[in-house]
Amino acid sequence: MALRSAAVFVGVSASRGVRSGLFPRAFGALSMATAVLLLVGYEIAPWVSLVFPTWVAASAVLILVRRRSTELADGA
């Protein structure tokens, strides 16, 4: 049940991130594929549970890089 909740979190977060311009569309598409994998993949292979923490780390790095580039562009 936890992976299903994680899949919903990934899908909603990616959708909001793409709509707000925080995430690029390619990351949004990859995130939706990740959500589907989390929904149906655990029955196939137990290692799928490692996909969620990997996605969280990737999205955090992406947010930090975007924030850094915005600060540099603003001259802060």
pLDDT in tens, 2-22: 889 999 999 999 999 999 999
Residue 18's pLDDT is what? 95
Residue 33's pLDDT is what? 95
**What is d(CA 55, CA 34) in angstroms, rounded to the nearest whole number?**
8
Contacts of 10 (CB under 8 A, 6+ apart): 31, 34, 35, 38, 52, 55
**Total-model pTM:** 0.84
Decide if pLDDT at 72 tops 90: no
**What is d(CA 13, CA 36) in angstroms, rounded to the nearest whole number?**
14
